[in-house]
């Protein structure tokens, strides 16, 4: 917008309608640049015009029920005696049908690169003491506290209010309070760095469908261990990633620069084709967030310390402005499909019963809804009822496509459930299969890959060992070769979709690809079983 000084009533209404549309397109967020012509020419406004324009923008925002935050002001060199400025303003409105905007960020990086500590500092609002105090609240098991190594997937939340200020656990807030006072929530998925827990990390990346990934690299060790592997995983799954170089307080400027150069060299390689963007100021952070969302080839790099707190604010500015990837139209199309919920975790909660955690990949799920869950070991689907829904630890009535939540299933027998199952609406008639074909690329293999080889296949939330039944058109595969391969699951049939991304591994063997064909077993023949209570089945 060039300027918004005292518009007429008709023009004001037109501007308000335009703002509504922009907010809807950006799923609740829009950035206005004032003092810039439509063709992108930086004209700038005098102080008085700028004040009047911001006042009009505030009026427009009030009319649609949004909040505005000034991101940055800049003076421009334009041929005039009066100093002229450009202002960038973030307009944010939480959509009427949800509590807050939601982004999921997976955290990757080598063991000991400072992933959990960085999350602890961001979400607790307290700096680390250099010996791992900040991460203690994130660990879920005693052995993790003793060894200091994350071995499971944990979730941490960081909120931003409508003014762009951080809302976290400081001032002894509870998770519910954070949800209530935030207009944007970032859920961090803390993954394991150690090679031993690689399968957990892959499961976290494939099943929780993160919007972005944050790759943490330690400044003093550089690119070591599983860093390259995690980078490869993010690229294979097409998750846009940004990089955080941590522990800059431990080493000299030269060492940090060397790590940055090392990263830039890897990112510019032909396989990666990324454009690194080093963030040194608030300006860079704002630009990085806007460019990163528009073109996935740009990779912002932050250098920070969780102990001294250096440059932590730049990361917060970046996360605050980071827009969601899908626009509202894509989400609405997903919501109109039939309900499908991926089961990623299963718990038993006292006085609540069985609870499942996961992501709703399509449709809408409401409290009290009847769904079917499966496939069981013999390929059947069982009926169940959703008793209540929780999202980010606070109750929620309706779950929409793309959101992660936990559903309480009441007295349903936990032993009938496992990770990798789906809960779908009964009219979906889901296709399940034991044998499927996929077009794959073998990324690395020590010898040759041939018929009869066993690999662990990851597709979404499904994780199971499969046997290579047949390689079409070839006897064997070597590193870097492509082929269509027929796999068969060893244990039980799974629910798969054509076009789903696939990762497989076995020792040092790794490959990626996508599902091209399924040999479906129809569920009509299997019939639906009804679970009356623990262990009782009737037909």
Least trusted range by pLDDT, from 49-58, 138-147, 281-290, 432-441: 138-147
Q: What is the structure's pLDDT at 527?
A: 47
Q: What is the fold, at CATH topology level, of the domain defined by 432-520?
A: Elongation Factor Tu (Ef-tu); domain 3 (2.40.30)
Measure the CA dihedral 481/482/488/490, to 10°. 40
Q: How far is CA 354 from CA 129, 378, 409, 415, in A?
A: 39, 22, 5, 10
Within 8 A by CB and 6+ apart from 510, the residues are 442, 443, 444, 445, 503, 504
Q: What is the structure's pLDDT at 530?
A: 42
Q: Which CATH number fits domain 329-424: 2.40.30.10, 2.60.40.60, 2.40.50.180, 3.40.50.2000?
A: 2.40.30.10
Q: What is the structure's pLDDT at 280?
A: 93
Cβ atoms of residues 15 and 7 within 8 Å: yes
Every domain of the chain and the residues it spans: 9-93, 101-325, 329-424, 432-520
Q: What is the structure's pLDDT at 253?
A: 92
172: left (phi over 0), alpha (psi -120 to 50) or beta: left
Give the SS3 label for residue 266: helix
Say whether pLDDT at 234 is over 80: yes
101-325 shares its CATH topology with 432-520: no
Q: Please state, in angstroms and rounded to a whole number, the distance separating the CA atoms of residues 476 and 456.
A: 18
Q: Please state, in angstroms and rounded to a whole number, the distance separating the CA atoms of residues 19 and 59.
A: 12
Q: What is the structure's pLDDT at 422?
A: 93
Say whether pLDDT at 33 is over 80: yes
Q: What is the mean pLDDT of residues 360-385?
A: 91
pLDDT 10s digits, 243-280: 999 999 999 999 999 999 999 999 998 878 899 999 99
Peptide bond into 117 cis (omega under 30): no
Say whether pLDDT at 526 is over 60: no
Tokens of residue 337, six digits: 């499909």
As assigned by CATH, the class of the 101-325 domain is alpha beta
Q: What is the structure's pLDDT at 307?
A: 92
Longest dimension (CA), the chain: 86
% the chain with pLDDT above 70: 94
Q: What is the structure's pLDDT at 265?
A: 92
Please report the beta strands in 268-369, taking only residues with DSSP state E, as ranges in sequence order: 275-279, 298-303, 340-349, 353-362, 364-366
| Higher pLDDT among residues 359 and 140, named by residue | 359
Q: Which CATH number fits domain 9-93: 3.30.110, 3.40.50, 3.40.1350, 1.10.238?
A: 3.30.110
Q: Rounded to 5 degrees, what are φ and ψ at 465? A: -75, 135
Least trusted range by pLDDT, from 93-97, 187-191, 232-236: 93-97
Say whether pLDDT at 161 is over 50: yes
Strands 184-190 and 101-109: parallel
């Amino acid at each position: 917008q060039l300027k918004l000084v005292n518009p007429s009533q008709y023009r004001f209404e037109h501007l308000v309608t335009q703002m509504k549309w922009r907010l809807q397109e950006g799923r609740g967020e829009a950035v206005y640049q004032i003092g810039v012509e439509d063709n992108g020419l930086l004209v700038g406004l005098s102080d008085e015009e700028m004040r009047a324009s911001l006042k009009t923008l505030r009026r427009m925002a009030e009319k649609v029920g949004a909040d505005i935050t000034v991101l940055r002001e800049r003076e421009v060199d334009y041929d005039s005696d009066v100093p002229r400025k450009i202002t960038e303003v973030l307009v944010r409105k939480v959509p009427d049908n949800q509590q807050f905007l939601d982004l999921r960020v997976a955290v990757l990086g080598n063991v000991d690169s400072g992933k959990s500590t960085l999350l602890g500092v961001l979400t607790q609002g307290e700096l680390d003491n250099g010996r791992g105090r900040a991460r203690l609240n994130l660990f879920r098991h005693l052995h993790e506290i003793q060894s200091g190594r994350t071995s499971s997937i944990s979730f941490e939340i960081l909120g931003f209010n409508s003014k762009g200020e951080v809302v976290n656990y400081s001032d002894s807030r509870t998770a519910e309070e954070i949800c209530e006072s935030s207009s944007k929530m970032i859920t961090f998925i803390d993954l394991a760095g150690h090679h031993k827990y690689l399968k957990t990390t892959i499961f976290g990346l494939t099943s929780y469908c993160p919007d972005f990934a944050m790759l943490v690299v330690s400044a003093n060790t550089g690119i070591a261990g599983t860093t390259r592997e995690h980078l490869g995983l993010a690229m294979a799954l097409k998750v846009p990633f940004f990089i955080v170089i941590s522990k800059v307080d431990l080493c000299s400027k030269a060492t940090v620069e060397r790590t940055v150069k090392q990263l830039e060299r890897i990112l510019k390689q032909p396989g990666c084709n990324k454009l690194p963007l080093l963030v040194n100021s608030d300006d860079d952070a704002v630009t990085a967030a806007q460019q990163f969302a528009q073109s996935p080839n740009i990779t912002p790099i932050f250098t920070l310390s969780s102990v001294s707190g250096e440059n932590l604010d730049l990361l917060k500015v970046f996360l605050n402005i980071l827009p969601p990837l899908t626009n509202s139209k894509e989400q609405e199309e997903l919501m109109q499909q039939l309900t499908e919920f991926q089961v990623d975790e299963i718990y038993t909660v006292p006085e609540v019963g069985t609870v499942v955690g996961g992501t709703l990949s399509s449709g809408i799920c409401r409290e009290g809804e009847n769904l079917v869950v499966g496939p069981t070991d013999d390929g059947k689907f069982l009926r169940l009822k959703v008793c209540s829904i929780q999202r980010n630890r606070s109750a929620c009535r309706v779950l929409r496509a793309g959101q992660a939540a936990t559903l309480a299933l009441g007295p349903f027998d936990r032993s009938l459930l496992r990770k990798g199952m789906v809960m779908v609406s009964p009219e979906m008639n889901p296709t399940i299969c034991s044998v499927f074909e996929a077009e794959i690329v073998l990324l690395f293999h020590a010898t040759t890959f041939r018929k009869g080889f066993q690999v662990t296949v990851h597709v979404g939330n499904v994780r199971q060992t499969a046997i290579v039944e047949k390689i079409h058109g070839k006897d064997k595969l070597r590193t870097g070769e492509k082929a269509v391969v027929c796999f068969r699951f060893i244990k039980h049939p799974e629910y798969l979709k054509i076009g789903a991304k696939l990762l497989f591994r076995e020792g040092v063997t790794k490959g990626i690809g996508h599902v091209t064909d399924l040999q479906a077993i129809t569920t009509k023949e299997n019939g639906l079983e009804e679970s009356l209570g623990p262990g009782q089945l009737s037909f």
